[in-house]
Amino acid sequence: MPLSFGTHQGQPLDWFYHIPRTGGNYATRVCKQLSVHGERVYRHHKGHKHGDPQRSRRRRQVERYSFTIVRPPLDWYRSFYRFRIVKHFVGRDLLPGHPLDHYIWAGRYSTHGHIFDFDHFVKGALSEFPGYLTQLYGRFVPYVSAVLETKDISRTLPALLASWGYDEPIRTPPGKRNSTTDDNGDWKQPRQLAKWLERGDGLPEGLPVYLSRSTQDMINAHEAKVIHWLAGECAWNGGTHE
Convert the pLDDT of each residue in 44-58 to its tens digit. Answer: 876 556 778 887 765
Q: What is the mean pLDDT of residues 84-95?
A: 94
pLDDT value for 165: 96
CA dist., res. 108 & res. 115, Å (int): 10
DSSP string, 80-115: HHHHIIIIIIIIS-PPP-SGGGGGTEES-GGGT-EE
DSSP string, 49-85: TT--HHHHHTTS--EEEEEEEE--HHHHHHHHHHHII
Residue predicted with more confidence, 12 or 179:
12
pLDDT value for 61: 61
Predicted confidence (pLDDT) at residue 242 exceeds the cutoff of 80: no
pLDDT value for 60: 59
Predicted confidence (pLDDT) at residue 241 exceeds the cutoff of 60: no
Predicted confidence (pLDDT) at residue 59 exceeds the cutoff of 60: no
pLDDT value for 213: 97
pTM: 0.90
- Chain segment 142-198, per-residue pLDDT in tens: 999 999 999 899 999 999 999 999 999 999 987 666 667 776 667 778 888 888 888
- Chain segment 70-83, per-residue pLDDT in tens: 999 999 999 999 99
pLDDT band at 92 (very low <50, low <70, confident <90, very high): very high
Predicted confidence (pLDDT) at residue 234 exceeds the cutoff of 50: yes
Predicted confidence (pLDDT) at residue 90 exceeds the cutoff of 80: yes
From the CB of residue 12, how many other CB atoms can be counted at a distance below 10 Å? 13
Question: Residues with Cβ < 8 Å from 10, sequence gap 6 or more?
Answer: none
Residue predicted with more confidence, 148 or 201:
148
146, with CB counted inside 10 A (0-12, 13-18, 19+), is middle
* Integer angstrom CA distances of residue 7 from 12, 71, 167: 9, 30, 11
